[in-house]
Amino acid sequence: MNSPSLFEQKSYLSIIRRIQNLSPDATNVSSEMTIKQTLVHCQKPLLLSLEDPEVVIPDTNDFEELKSILIELVELFYQQTPRKKWTHPNFGNFTQEQWGHSQFKHLDHHLSQFNA
């Protein structure tokens, strides 16, 4: 069985839907991060993987805006032109397949903490 990848349409659409369904009063069932902290935290790995787009992340604490930013980053990640090599500052070179799997797993992990 293959691991889901954020480059696969079905997985991508599932993650988008789960983010869209989050509410500001969502309760974290397994960690102390708030929903807003989680939305900000989930932006960081996506930003690391975006090579070409110039993305400006506003400094905001507004739930809907944080959710929109994360959705935009997931969309930009999904639409990226494939590359042979992706460099992660902590883990070194990743293949496209590794980036897709790791991004999905990270988002899935945090969305699951909010039963999303």
pLDDT at position 85 over 80: no
Domain residue ranges of the chain, discontinuous segments joined by +: 9-112
Structurally, at CATH architecture level, domain 9-112 sits in Up-down Bundle (1.20)
pLDDT at position 1 over 80: no
In this prediction, residue 109 has a pLDDT band, given cuts at 50, 70 and 90, of very high
Residue with tokens 């590794």: 98
Q: What is the mean pLDDT of the chain?
A: 91
Burial 24-57 (b: 16+ CB within 10 A, else e): eebeeeeeeeebbebbbebbebbeebeeeeeeee
**Mean pLDDT in residue range 75-91:** 85
Could you report the per-residue pLDDT of 18-47, keeping only the tens digit for each? 999 999 999 999 888 999 999 999 999 999
